[in-house]
Amino acid sequence: MSQTDSAVDLSIIIVNYNVKEFLANCLTSVKKASAGLTCEIFVVDNASSDGSIPFLRERFPNVKYIENEQNLGFGKANNQAISQATGKYTLLLNPDTLLQEDTFHVLIDYMEAHEECGACGCKILNPDGTFAPESRRSVPTVSTALYKAVGLTALFPESKIFGTYYLGWMEEDEGGEIPVLSGSFMFFRTQCLKELGGFDERFFMYGEDIDLCYRAKQDGWSIHYVPDTSIIHYKGESTKKNEIAYNRVFNDALYKFFEKHFTSRYSVLFKFLIFWAIRFRAVASFFVNNIRTYRYIITDLIVINMALLVGMFIRSSFDPDGIFSMLQAQFFWLNLLWCLSYLSFARLYGIINEHKLSIVGSLKAVVFSFLTLVAITFFLRSLAFSRIILAVSFLIGFIGIGFIRFRRINKIKSTKFSRGKVTPLRMLLVGIGDSTEQIVSKIKGKARWQVEIAGVVRQNTQGAVKDGSLSEYEVGDLKDLKSLIRTTRSDIVVFLLESVSHKELLSSIRTLRDVDIEIKVIPPNMNFILGKADVEYLDDIAVVDLQLSFFNPVQKFLKRSFDFVLGSLGLLLLLPFMWAVFNVRSEKKREVAIFDGSGKKTLNLMNHQTFSSKIYNRWVLCYKIAMGEISFVGSPAGPVSEQDMTRYKTGLTGYVQINRDRITNQQDQEQFDLHYLQNYSIWLDLDILFKALLREESLTGAFLAENSLMDV
């Protein structure tokens, strides 16, 4: 079949490796962009372990799937589908992309008008709306690669000498002929692609796109950049740049390209230098990427070292001679032991291996590493050090690390971090359709998220809310999105792609480039939300574990001890003020009905909010807490079934209480209760108490407001 006689307009080839959710979003956008065209879609799966093929086959049955039993690499996997492609044009597409509805039509029209063009690409946007410079690139010669490696490209991006790698002197909307396309989106004439024999399979991953474009130019084809349409690229969701394997493969690809196309121009000595320069770049890239990945744990270690030094300054009364006398081998051994011990416990609590930005995990690591240090210095007298220095260092380290983590968590606009985040993230939804109300309900009922709905924005193609139940959330139109973000004080914007077109999405995120906002999308008919580097499902899987953490004997002992100690302390502190109660005995009282899982209990509390009544009410509540009838952190008041396995004591506050605005029905409350019981620790209680104290005038007032009150 000749190129012009092809019955298929476009063949689309996507190689997948463990990114099924991003690929599902991509395929949905491909389907929309294919309107009016005859297309065939190939998905080549490189032995994914996340169940990609069953997940995708159920949702996209018309796609042609090629399943590999091992990871063959990007080039070889693409070639499997290229050999079967029958379209007049062939698109090589990354799975973590999202297309505009007009992308295919714009590029086909362009190729039809430019017969000399063998391949073209479009404008690529980052998830935050910024322009991705890899949309058009040059061939990485020795000089251009050197400028990029030493940072001159980043310092002078628009220079025609130093900015050559990304053609930085070109405007992002300036089209024309370019040397190299991004491998994430390469729109080829199938005739050109098959004449070239597809990718060179010696490149496992990376570099094969440069090689393919370079060979196309050598064969007389031109390559063009067409900025009239755009895509979003989430960038490398299936790679981990902090891994040594990534850096080795990436930099090996650079040398293979140099060796294949330029080696004949240079001497053996120069090639030797290039080889080791690329190896050095691989090692340097590995360390730079890991410093970024482990920057929080590195910060913790710096705080520990600074805490020891401050402890020494205090112990020596800031006398320089005294400080230098302490800086002996003994000090450095002590410092090394504490750092190694902290790293061990940080790994145990997932701070290192899982990259958790956890306040609780960090504080646990500080406490237990310090106790380990004390134990070692106790048994090894040769390492014994000043107790004052150790105590001061521990206090500074504990407060310093806790404060830095707390500040960082409260600055991050991510739904992953709930503990330690004082104010809930405000989420603005864009798009009103059939599923909007259901999505609002799911977000509000997401027990582990600290999120509140800031509003719902109408898309430009719709004039009014269809469902009256959403009227309380409606805040305006998509054309006013930038100002709506400011007025609603939103942290996250979520586009509902069931209602919002991809063209509206890309146009909107371009206007938000300078806005400090996290942008996410919910694909149509999907129950997950996609962000720049994460996937989160909207449905919590309700797994009822009979071994709930809350009912663990150790956790029950810690919780009871916490209530007893804090309740008793409250009794002692309030005791001197109890004289005021005797002056108001004749005041009318009221009953508060509370439930602790074993039956109804009542408290006689003062009816009028005078100084005396407040003191009396708090003293009574502290007494009941110390006696174990209620708890500082527990369930809201209400009747509890004896068959309910998740019942627990009524609390002055609790996980349900601090999230009361998000709970609309009994099922939601059960989800929040279950989340608390499954994830219980004394640290979670402290987190809840801290948030409650910041959000309420008083725990007593909040407790009375939550309970049913009646005059005696």
Could you read off the pLDDT of 59-90 as tens digits, one per residue? 999 999 999 999 888 889 999 999 999 999 99
- Model confidence over 1-41: pLDDT tens digits? 344 456 899 999 999 999 999 999 999 999 999 999 999 99
Q: What is the CA radius of gyration of the chain?
A: 31
- CATH number assigned to the domain with residue range 425-537, chosen from the 4 options 3.40.50.970, 3.40.50.720, 3.90.1150.10, 2.60.120.260: 3.40.50.720
Topology of the domain comprising 8-233: Spore Coat Polysaccharide Biosynthesis Protein SpsA; Chain A (3.90.550)
Report the distance separating Cα 583 and Cα 581, nearest Å.
5
Inter-residue contact 402 to 434 (CB < 8 Å): no
What is the amino acid identity at position 662?
R
| 46 close to 71: Cβ distance less than 8 angstroms | yes
Which three-class secondary structure state does DSSP give residue 89?
strand
Comparing 100-114, 456-470, 626-640, which segment has the lowest mean pLDDT?
456-470
Instruction: For residue 459, give the DSSP letter.
Output: -
Structural element, H or E, at residue 2 = none
Q: Which residues contact 89 (CB under 8 A, 6 or more apart)?
A: 9, 10, 11, 107, 108, 111, 187, 188, 189, 190
Q: How many CB atoms lie within 10 A of CB 57?
A: 12
> Quick count: other Cβ atoms within 10 Å of Cβ 487?
12
CA 417-422-424 angle, to 5 degrees, is 65
**Contacting residues for 584 by C-beta, under 8 A, at least 6 apart:** 606, 610, 612, 613, 616
CA distance 637 to 622: 17
Share of the chain above pLDDT 90, in %: 35
* Better pLDDT: 278 or 296: 296
* Nearest alpha carbon to residue 182 among 114, 113, 264, 123: 123
Q: What is the pLDDT of residue 484?
A: 95
Task: Pick the most confident of 138-152, 259-273, 330-344.
Answer: 330-344
Residue 110 · residue 226 · CB < 8 Å? yes
- Please count the residues of the chain: 712
Q: Give the pLDDT band (50/70/90) at residue 378.
A: confident
Distance of CA 292 to the CA centre of its chain: 15
Q: Is 570 left (phi over 0), alpha (psi -120 to 50) or beta?
A: alpha
Decide: helix, strand or coil at residue 708: coil
pLDDT recorded at residue 321 = 63
Token pair of 389 as six digits: 């220095």
C-alpha to C-alpha distances, 14 to 11, 43, 88, 618, nearest whole angstrom: 10, 5, 17, 65
Mean pLDDT of the chain: 80
Q: Can 8-233 and 425-537 be said to share one CATH topology?
A: no
Report the sign of the C-alpha dihedral through residues 471, 476, 479, 482, in that order: negative
Q: Is 479:459 a contact under the CB 8 Å cutoff?
A: no
Least confident of 79-88, 131-140, 231-240, 296-305: 231-240
Indicate the pTM of the whole model.
0.79
Domain assignments of the chain as residue spans, ordered by start = 8-233, 244-293, 295-411, 425-537, 549-711
In sequence order, the β-bridge partners of residue 131 are 125
**609-641: per-residue pLDDT in tens?**
555 667 777 888 888 899 988 899 988 865 444
List the end-to-end C-alpha distance of the chain, in Å, as a whole number.
Answer: 93
What pLDDT does 174 receive?
93
Counting runs of H as helices and runs of E as strands, what totals does the chain give? 24, 23
